[in-house]
Amino acid sequence: MPGLLAPWSLVLLGLIAVPLAVHLLTRRQTVTRTFPAVALLARADGGRAARRRLRERAVLALRMLALALGAFAVAGVVWRGSWSGPGARPAVIVLDASASMRQIAGGSAVFDRARAAAGDLLAASPGRRLSLLVAGTTLVSSGAPSAAHGALQAMLAESAAGAGDGDPRGALTAAAALLPEGGDCFFVTDLARSSLAGVDPAALPARLSLHLVDAGGGGPNVGITGLSCAPAVAVAGRPVTVSARIANNAPSPAHLQVDLRVGSQARLLPIDLEPGAVGSVQMTATFDAAGAVAVAASLARNGNAVGGDALPLDDQRDGVLEILPAIATVLASDGDRDDPAGVARPLLAALAAAGLPARATDRAGLAADGLALPGGATPALLITAGLRPGVDLARDLHDFLDAGGAWLQVIAGTGDADLAADGDQPPMACGTPCDVSEQERGSMALGQARLDDPLLEPFAGHAALLSAVSAYRYRLTPTGAAADATVLWTYADGTIALAERPVGHGRWLRLNCSPAAVDSTLAAGETLPLLIARLPSAVLPARNEHLAYDAGTLVAVSGAVTGPDGRTLDAQRDAAGVLHVRLDRPGLYRVAGGGLLAAAPPALESDLRRLDPTTLHLVSADASSATAEAATTMLWPWLIAALAVVLCGELALAGGITTSRRTPTGISTNITAGRQP
């Protein structure tokens, strides 16, 4: 049946009288003159006059129709069809089961209200084909839409809110896949800031109609949203600072204490936060031995555990700090490590002078060990120089850089030049080898250096150290640096000597010069030790923000894993045979052999402030209003299209009238032929 969204707009129908009044008031008053001599002209013009009058009346009717269509379009004409029954469109109900749905608002759990709203949608849909998706730590689906709702009711009764982000984008993508021919999607959510994270409603298929069902929520909340450490590489015997980040998403100031624990050390730290503010507390600790250290932070108010905010789930956060035995370094070279004129010896000497003990290997060993150190640790710093062509290391190097490692690639020969990380753009391209010693100029000295770069900080005020560096053999780089690379050194002819660029979470550096004494003066002075010593602090991340995985993450493990509740997790093997477990709840997980893993709620889930759906061109409603909206078909777009057609017709007819009325003299009259009285 038809209906109106804004019935009051029908007062605009009164505008129909305007063109009628204008027509009546502006009708041309003609004077009849009788001229017997023009009788034939009168008979010829009579038909045209009749057609002209008919055209004028048609234009008037079209104008009145256009105003009527416009009035009904403004009033929002809709057709209210049947919501339930076999003839209704299929629908998918998506139940938000993310961590924010655990909040307490109005004395009850928001997820319980959301589950009740989803139940109302099921109860109001007898005979309609429905599916149910529960978007929690993992997405649970009831399958293709079905008119039998018993399985959906059981699935709804067993559902529970998880601790992850619910992956709203993935849930809506799955909903669209269940409705290949089109239908309605009811997303039951608390409308927190994370509820539609990553979702672009305009990118959803046109056949899918998205309806937001508001489950309430939006209470005040103070939560711990992150744990971090600085420096990013924690080393035994060196201090590391652990920080806990706290967000006050409440309308009033928060006066708190944070119980921060790093291993066996603990401190109670005060913090005051204004509404909407984010702050942090920190403590510094030093560990004598390497290994995994548990980190935990919990909120306290006046020395007591916080229990009054809307989401207690984020009042405690766990993490794991990996302590390495030293700055883990690997030097890979196929040259003789004892040869004074070789590639490896000056690099090993520079590492020893910087206090960075390294594991020496060659290209084959690098491929066999997969960049692993004793005990399975991943190196933080990799140096390659003087490698022979051979085993492909592209995938290992890509994974190393993506995980946050720093790679110094010394280009000393063909084997070094062909070494690259899979799919990653190098800092500079390697071109044709050039031997400057064969030219009259002799060696090629360094020309320019970016002394403002953190890597070259030791050379600020000591430019003479760099000016003494020269090379006899190097590889030209005619194509220059990558778009986001930083050129640190250049030779006198402008050729790049040293460049670096970010790759993943790590850094890739290329040194266009052999450190061998016979090829360069780089290894003969103080330059190389200073450069090597500066590498870790300059190119490795200063801070590690990932002491915990987001709850719900699938993680590769080497053995059995025990969860925070003491149960052993079910591990699954992928196609490559690697074991994976899902960290489905916050807390510490223990891996067989002494390893630790931690999971925590995503930071955005702590922000319970309400999202305004209108910013995404959406509306929200309760379950009954959402079903009424889904059963409503908007007709006003069709009225606007009809209005455009009517206006085009009116313009065409009005132009014809203007043309027919125009005479050479600009005078219009009625001529009547007949006998004079």
Answer yes or no: do 401 and 533 share one domain: yes
Q: Dig out the tokens for 345 from the structure.
A: 């010896």
Answer yes or no: do 335 and 480 share one domain: yes
**CA-to-CA distance for 196 and 193, rounded, in angstroms?**
7
Answer yes or no: do 472 and 405 share one domain: yes
**CA-to-CA distance for 229 and 262, rounded, in angstroms?**
11
* Residue 319 backbone dihedrals phi, psi, to 5 degrees: -150, 175
pLDDT of residue 75: 60
Answer yes or no: do 201 and 117 share one domain: yes
The range of the structural domain enclosing residue 76 comes to 2-80+650-672
**Is-contact 178 131, C-beta < 8 A?**
yes
**Is-contact 137 586, C-beta < 8 A?**
no
**CA-to-CA distance for 348 and 97, rounded, in angstroms?**
54
Count how many domains the chain has: 4
pLDDT of residue 47: 60
Answer yes or no: do 425 and 521 share one domain: yes
Residue 142 lies in a domain: yes
**CA-to-CA distance for 354 and 347, rounded, in angstroms?**
11
Answer yes or no: do 71 and 127 share one domain: no
Answer yes or no: do 465 and 378 share one domain: yes
pLDDT of residue 608: 93
pLDDT of residue 663: 45
Task: Report mean pLDDT in 10-residue bins for the chain, 677 residues.
Answer: 54 64 62 59 58 71 70 58 61 95 90 93 86 94 92 94 94 94 92 92 89 90 95 88 95 92 95 94 93 93 56 95 85 89 89 86 87 71 91 90 90 87 89 76 84 90 86 77 83 88 91 84 88 89 91 90 92 86 94 91 94 88 66 58 73 63 45 44
* Residue 406 backbone dihedrals phi, psi, to 5 degrees: -115, 130
Answer yes or no: do 319 and 335 share one domain: no
**CA-to-CA distance for 309 and 330, rounded, in angstroms?**
49
Amino acid, res. 668: S
pLDDT of residue 300: 82
Encode pLDDT of 517-533 as tens digits. Answer: 788 888 888 899 999 99
Answer yes or no: do 238 and 318 share one domain: yes
pLDDT of residue 69: 66
Element (H, E) at 46: helix 39-74
Residue 353 lies in a domain: yes
In DSSP notation, 370-399 reads TTPPTTSPPPSEEEEESPPS-S--HHHHHH
Encode pLDDT of 203-236 as tens digits. Answer: 999 888 899 999 998 889 999 999 999 988 888 8
pLDDT of residue 635: 55
Residue 558 lies in a domain: no
pLDDT of residue 440: 60
- To 10 degrees, the CA torsion angle through 200, 206, 207, 209? 50
Residues 231, 236, 242: CA angle, nearest 5 degrees = 40
The domain that holds 99 is classified in CATH as 3.40.50.410
**CA-to-CA distance for 294 and 408, rounded, in angstroms?**
32
In DSSP notation, 469-515 reads -EESEEE--TT-B-TT-EEEEEETTS-EEEEEEEETTEEEEEE-S--
Answer yes or no: do 285 and 345 share one domain: no
Residue 559 lies in a domain: no
Encode pLDDT of 99-150 as tens digits. Answer: 999 999 888 899 999 999 999 888 888 888 899 999 998 999 999 999 889 9
Residue 604 lies in a domain: no
The domain that holds 271 is classified in CATH as 2.60.40.10
Pick from 486, 516, 539: which residue ends a domain?
A: 539
Q: Dig out the tokens for 328 from the structure.
A: 């883990």
pTM: 0.70
Q: DSSP label at 88?
A: S
- Estimate the crossing angle of helix 527-539 against helix 344-353, to 10 degrees: 70
Pick from 325, 349, 378: which residue ends a domain?
A: 325
**CA-to-CA distance for 373 and 582, rounded, in angstroms?**
26
pLDDT of residue 45: 55
Secondary structure (3-state) at 411: coil
**CA-to-CA distance for 188 and 477, rounded, in angstroms?**
57
Answer yes or no: do 147 and 278 share one domain: no
**Contact residues for 285 (Cβ-Cβ < 8 A; gap 6+):** 239, 240, 242, 262, 263, 265
**CA-to-CA distance for 337 and 435, rounded, in angstroms?**
24
Residue 126 preceded by cis peptide, ω within 30: no
**Is-contact 598 229, C-beta < 8 A?**
no
**CA-to-CA distance for 69 and 64, rounded, in angstroms?**
9
Residue 639 lies in a domain: no
Residue 339 lies in a domain: yes
Q: DSSP label at 355?
A: T
Residue 488 lies in a domain: yes
The domain that holds 415 is classified in CATH as 3.40.50.880
Pick from 475, 505, 539: which residue ends a domain?
A: 539
**Is-contact 297 283, C-beta < 8 A?**
no
Secondary structure (3-state) at 585: coil
Answer yes or no: do 369 and 321 share one domain: no
pLDDT of residue 525: 84
Q: Dig out the tokens for 633 from the structure.
A: 């078909």
Beta-bridge mates of residue 261: 266, 296
